[in-house]
Chain A
Amino acid sequence: MENLPQQPAAYRITHQLQDAKLTVYLAGEFGIRNLAAFVGDINRLLVAEQREISGIDLDFSGITYFDSAAALAVIRVREETPDKKIKFSFVNLNEEIRDIFSVINNKGIARRPTKAIKPREGILVQIGDTCFLLGRDFINMITFVGELIYALSYTIIHPRSLRSKDVLFYMKRAGVDGLPIVGLISVLMGLIMAFMSFLQLKQIGANIYVPSLVSFAMVKELGPLMTAILVAGRSGSAFAAEIGTMVVNEEVDALKTMGFDPIRFIAVPKVLAAMLVVPLLTLYADLFGVFGGLIVGVTGLDLTFNTYIVQSMKTIKVFDVVTSLIKAAVFAALIAGIGCQRGFQVRSGAQDVGKYTTSAVVSAIFMIVVADSIFAIMLHYVR
């Protein structure tokens, strides 16, 4: 047929009643664009003329445009005539229209779907389902942690099996590439903290404690925490998306059939890289935080460079730095582990990749905060 009609197409439906036989003449264009209109017209006509007719002829001779949707519609009209005794036939079909009708596979339309879409369940069922899913998620998590620990220990015992090129690659991705943003955020944090504490402390003339406060907070809490959150956003998501895409492309299956353990092959280098590089990144964040405070201290608080450094050094103990690094390593393991685990959970398609990438970041940040609280309590007693 020629071009699709662009405008609401023109059609005309006329009818003639003779010897209890209704003939409906279709003329003009009938297609998907004016489907609702002409089906409505035909139905109205049939209802109006329903009285004593024994047969209906649908005459196609005047049709200039016809498509498969229109063909389906007139078949539906025929099948839905309420009175089954009425003989409903299509007449004057030319070759083209006959061909269009032949495209429609009546059996296929009538077939039931092989997979039912579940209707929305009641609230109780939904709660139950969610709990079940959470439970399964938890079990998955534990299984994954076990497998990861096994794979990590295997790698430590057999260092040759480690793909060191990958480790370096991910150290660059997670660490080096993150330097600018981590540095910037840390400086700003230091600035803000120094400034805010200065506003409070100057009221009691305790400006001299600003350096202590900034360095204490930075090294003990904010440095590891901010770094971890940034790494979760930058690298945790990247790990999940990368592994998820590999699952979708059957690459993980290919790895398995080649006899590789996907966890050892894909997850271990990422986790190790993160655990190595995040503590370094944290140290760097601590330094930049102190530096941010220093800017405010020297320019706004009449403290000299020396006093500021000395005050900071007095506050920070080696113990604090070491625990800060340990914390960072634990956060890194959480971020990379969760990122990889979420990636492996992807089953099908791009949508899943997006879903689990988001989930990787959210769960990682949540777990970081939980772990941080545990550390806070533990360190309190260790001291």
Chain B
Amino acid sequence: MRSGENKPIITADDLTARYGSNLIFSNVSFQVNRGEVLVIVGESGCGKSTLLRILIGLEKPSCGRVLFQGNDIVNSGEDVLHNYRQNIGVLFQSSALFSSMTLNENIALPLTEYTNLDTETINLIIQMKLGMVNLSGYGNHYPAELSGGMKKRAGIARAMALDPIVLFFDELSAGLDPVTAVELDELIIKTNEALGTTIVIVTHELESICKIADRVIMLDKTAKGIIAEGTPQELKENSADPRVRSFFLRQLPQKTAQE
């Protein structure tokens, strides 16, 4: 987890996002270091999913750039983006499994496209990935036949199919029971430590943040940008910002006197 300290693999440089005239955030700059687990937190609607979509090149920021290993993926051509995308795995907030395919086919898709493995090996890999997220035996189910949490786990399995360099998870533990959530935390830690995968996660589970995060970035809706950045420990203990403290102490911020 702590190897190759502070070598940025992804750099977000002065990002601004808008929907129409509605400013979501501005001046967002940070780095994702090689081999770390970066957690993005912030209240609902503050733009975490938007930020993630910019980082994976689905949405263009209204200004700023995103560098992957030194290459700008926002302003360069398709080929840079294409190369980038073969190195990342993404779990969407809504899981985004292909509804016309079974889980096996969902996971097989990137494998058949980007490798020339024989069917037997691919099947073995699929079994392994499904087992990692505790979905063994569900390979022939269609996404519509799964619960929300199961879809999420299947989405994770698909994101990890090619053992990408960087993994992005949006709302990793939303909709999961505590036991499964803990298992997933273990999986994240293992993936990160054993495979050296860099992981960027949006999650709200305080316990899992403290357990898995190397660094935390906190976005805020009113500040429209990053209000805190650091290790969970630092943020928990030393932050002067009441919003950060209230998040980590799970309290309502001290209210100003009102009705």
Give me the interface of A with B, judged by CB distance under 8 Å.
106-107, 114-115, 242, 245-246, 249-251, 253-260
Q: A251-B98, A256-B85, A257-B56 are in contact. List 9 more A-B contacts (CB 8 A).
A: A106-B258, A249-B94, A250-B93, A251-B99, A254-B96, A256-B58, A257-B88, A259-B82, A259-B85
Q: Which of B107-115, B183-191, B192-200 contacts A (4 or more CB under 8 A)?
A: B107-115
Residue on A nearest B105 in the bound complex, by CB: A165
> How far is B58's CA from A253's CA once the two chains are assembled, in angstroms?
7
- For the complex, would chain A's binding face be called helix, strand, loop or mixed by DSSP majority? helix
Q: How far is the CB of B171 from chain A (nearest CB, A)?
A: 12
User: 20 A–B contact pairs at CB < 8 A?
Assistant: A114-B22, A242-B100, A246-B99, A249-B94, A249-B96, A250-B92, A250-B93, A250-B94, A251-B96, A251-B97, A251-B99, A254-B97, A257-B57, A257-B58, A257-B88, A258-B90, A258-B113, A259-B82, A259-B85, A259-B86
Q: How far is the CA of A250 from the CA of B97 in the complex (A)?
A: 8
- Chain B residues in 8 Å Cβ range of A245: 99
B120 is an interface residue with CB less than 8 A from chain A: no
Whole-angstrom distance from the CB of B145 to the nearest CB of chain A? 15
Interface residues in B107-149 (C-beta closer than 8 Å to A): 109-110, 113-114
Q: Please, how many angstroms separate the alpha-carbon atoms of A245 and B97 in the complex?
A: 12
Tell which of A107, A242, A250 touches B96, judged by Cβ atoms closer than 8 Å.
A250
| A250 to B56 alpha-carbon distance, docked (Å) | 14
Min CB gap B96→A, angstroms? 4
User: Which residue of B has the minimal Cβ distance to A165?
Assistant: B105
Enumerate B30-79 residues with CB–CB distance to A below 8 Å: 53, 56-58
Docked pose: A110 CA to B94 CA in angstroms: 33
Closest Cβ of chain A: how far from B158's Cβ, in Å? 8
Q: Which residues of A contact B5 (CB under 8 A)?
A: none
Chain B residues, CB < 8 A from A260 = 113
**Alpha-carbon separation in the docked complex, A380 to B254 (Å):** 83
- The answer to whether B258 and A254 have CB atoms under 8 Å apart is no
A259 proximity list for chain B (CB < 8 A): 82, 85-86, 110, 113-114
Question: What number of residue pairs across chains A and B have CB atoms under 8 A from each other?
Answer: 50
Contacts of B58 in A (CB 8 A): 253, 256-257
Q: How far is the CA of A255 from the CA of B82 in the complex (A)?
A: 12
Whether the Cβ atoms of B114 and A106 lie closer than 8 Å is no
- Can you list, as one digit per residue, whether each of B10-27 has a CB less than 8 Å from chain A (1) or not (0)? 000000000000100000
B21 to chain A, nearest CB (A): 9
Q: Could you tell me the distance between the alpha carbons of A249 and B92 in the complex, rounded to whole angstroms?
A: 10
CA distance A246 to B94 in the complex (A): 12
The answer to the question of B259 belonging to the interface, with a C-beta cut-off of 8 Å to chain A, is yes
Cβ A257 vs Cβ B99 within 8 A: no
Can you name the residue of chain A whose Cβ is closest to the Cβ of B82?
A259
Minimum CB–CB distance from B216 to chain A (whole Å) comes to 24
- B105, chain A: closest CB distance, angstroms: 10
A107 and B99 within 8 A (CB): no
Q: Which of A242, A251, A255 has the most CB of B within 10 A?
A: A251
Residues of B near A246 (CB, < 8 A) are 98-99
User: Among the listed A107, A114, A254, which residue makes an inter-chain contact with B90, where contact means beta carbons less than 8 Å apart?
Assistant: A254
Docked pose: A246 CA to B99 CA in angstroms: 8
In the assembled complex, the Cα of A250 lies from the Cα of B85 at a distance in Å of: 16
| Measured CA separation A249–B98 after assembly (Å) | 9
Contacting residues, chain A, for B94 (C-beta < 8 A) = 249-250
A204 CB to nearest chain B CB (Å): 58
Among A256, A259, A260, find the residue whose CB has the most chain B CB atoms closer than 10 A: A259
Q: Closest approach, in angstroms, between the C-beta of B151 and any C-beta of chain A?
A: 11
Contacts of B96 in A (CB 8 A): 249-251, 253-254
Question: B85 to chain A: which residues have CB within 8 Å?
Answer: 256-259
A249: chain B residues within 8 A (beta carbon): 94, 96, 99
For residue B117, give the distance in angstroms from its CB to the closest CB of chain A.
15
Q: Give the residues in chain B near A106, CB-CB below 8 Å.
A: 258-259
Give the distance in Å from the alpha carbon of A249 to the alpha carbon of B100 in the complex. 12
Most chain B CB within 10 A, of A242, A245, A255, A256, is at A256
A255 CB, min distance to chain B CBs, angstroms: 8
Inter-chain CA distance A253–B259, complex, in Å, is 45
A-B pairs with the 7 shortest C-beta distances?
A: A250-B96, A254-B96, A259-B85, A257-B90, A250-B92, A259-B86, A257-B56
- B22 near A107 with CB under 8 A, answer no
Q: Considering only CB atoms, which chain B residue lies closest to A259 in the complex?
A: B85
Nearest CB of B to A325, in Å = 30
Tell me, rounded to whole Å, the shortest Cβ–Cβ distance linking B70 to chain A: 20
By CB atoms of chain B within 10 A, which of A106, A115, A253, A255 has the most? A253
Q: How far is the CA of A225 from the CA of B109 in the complex (A)?
A: 38
Expressed in whole angstroms, the minimum distance between the Cβ of B250 and any Cβ of chain A is 21
User: Chain B residues near A258 (CB, 8 Å)?
Assistant: 85, 90, 109-110, 113
* B108 shortest CB reach to chain A, Å: 12
**Complex Cα–Cα for A258 and B93 (A):** 16
**Bound-state Cα–Cα, A253 to B57, Å:** 10
Please give me the residue from chain A that is nearest to B110 by CB atom.
A258
Quick one: which of B98, B113, B258 contacts A107, CB cutoff 8 A? B258
Among B236-259, those with CB < 8 Å from A are 258-259
Closest chain-B Cβ to A261's Cβ sits at a distance in Å of 9
Give the residues in chain A near B110, CB-CB below 8 Å.
258-259
